[in-house]
A and B are shown apart, each in its own frame.
Chain A
């Protein structure tokens, strides 16, 4: 095994083959903002000197997946590039991230599981809202469904297990909690998360020039809004 520094960051990345077109570079052990920051700075550095054969650079919790064109390059050629990028980054700070505000109407019809979360922790609805909307949540990665953000930083007081029976369809824009995670449903899909609210924003709009509102490395801040504000924003979104 590789030597592990105190935070879980490996002294040297672990390289893994993902078939003949994918190369996975793993930077550390566990879910940790420092490892995730390293992943993103490496992604940026490689993006900047995008080597001819690299087709896609996908940042994740603790690794980068490089999709390459085997006609042009291969892992033997990619390794020195990765090491070089790593060396130039030695003392570099993570670039300032965007904070993306997401308005959320909590409870009521939009948050059918608000009561479950309250009861699990004997909190008032207002306390749940305050605890949920106070942190700035780091987006560790995006994936699973289009625009689905894996967020870190949920207050322990809100940890709530998934629903025993998942819903057949969770509406688009729903905001929920599953164990130590919180997240948003950019597209309607089946799901077992405890739904506590909904955003009127279109988190994924394939026809918009930029279909997404955020990317890995940004931070999400939920802003509580009233039903009236929800309706207004919703109309505005749909008229765009």
Chain B
């Protein structure tokens, strides 16, 4: 039985789970939800386990016709959501029924929202994941973002006994001036004053910002004169800040496996969620951090999710 039908697809709406792991050495990027925090909470709200497939919604929301009684929840970017023309809240589970029309409007703050449905979206598993890798026409719903008329199904599940919500103080804010923490490297030795500039001045998110990478604009980050302009191609991690010959930084994200330019620093994994919530025109200030701090921050996030889980199930 179908769960919902797409009446209007929105900006770029795709099926994503946590990602496709283990195939980067064969050139298959990890893909997956860009804001892992909002993604995880969407699943927890509807009673799913942490890694079930959801819809990742970008800037402009979709409209859906509901075809099955189920619980849904929208987290991430503040979009405005309407059920049969009545406003409904985000970061809360909602019971919907066949015939309902769910409309998610335009982004007010942030960039990406996550719509989870009870049971999780069911699409064929490709190489261990449900995530869409649009660049490779792989995974998700037919390897592409959703289009008008698409009908999706969910895994079977029980309805929630009682509706769930995330307390206000735990809901992240998405300011248009984001401070993003990064660790110098892997090629910080290719730069000297560039490193100082990176952590001292703001960079604007350009229109060229997608799941592959975010091109930024700001003060030039020149490579040292005695170093080569490019490096021998090597694998890249999501969050790597690559400096091509135009000396403007690109934050590499989840649809990239190999790069040939030096990476001055790498955004810490926890703050990749913040990058994902910036839109063209937003300003990013990079804050220098170290590995120890990054790992402590990572553990804090894990503990926070564990606490929220307890809170929702309790």
Contact = CB atoms under 8 A, between A and B. Distances in A.
Given A61-B232, A143-B258, A206-B138, A21 B237 contact: yes
Contacts of B22: 55-56
What interface size band does chain A fall in? 35 or more
B26 A65 contact: no
Given A19-B294, A147-B26, A31 B237 contact: no
B258 to A, nearest CB: 4
B186 A18 contact: yes
A48 B251 CA distance: 33
Contacts of B235: 58, 60, 65, 143
A144 B295 contact: no
A74 interface: yes
B25 A216 contact: yes
B26 A20 contact: no
Nearest to A24: B186
Nearest to B186: A16
B233 A22 contact: no
A20 B271 CA distance: 11
B187 A16 contact: yes
Interface residues of B, number: 41
Contact of A215 (B26, B139, B233, B266): B26
Interface in B21-43: 21-28
Contacts of B269: 19-21, 70
Given A20-B268, A70-B295, A142-B26, A65 B185 contact: no
B234 A74 contact: no
Given A18-B266, A59-B25, A215-B26, A67 B232 contact: no
A154 interface: no
B237 A75 contact: no
Interface in A151-203: 186-187
B295 A19 contact: no
A206 B232 CA distance: 28
Given A16-B186, A144-B257, A30 B233 contact: no
A148 B258 CA distance: 11
Contact of B24 (A20, A56, A150, A207): A56
A74 B291 contact: yes
Contacts of B191: none
A141 interface: yes
Contact of B138 (A61, A142, A146, A148): A146
Interface string B113-135: 00000000000001100000000
Interface string A18-44: 111110100000110000000000000
Contacts of A61: 232-234
Interface of A: 16-22, 24, 30-31, 55-63, 65, 67, 70-71, 74-75, 141-148, 150, 186-187, 206-207, 211-212, 215-216
Interface of B: 21-28, 126-127, 136-139, 183-187, 232-237, 239-240, 257-258, 263, 266-270, 291, 294-295, 298-299, 302
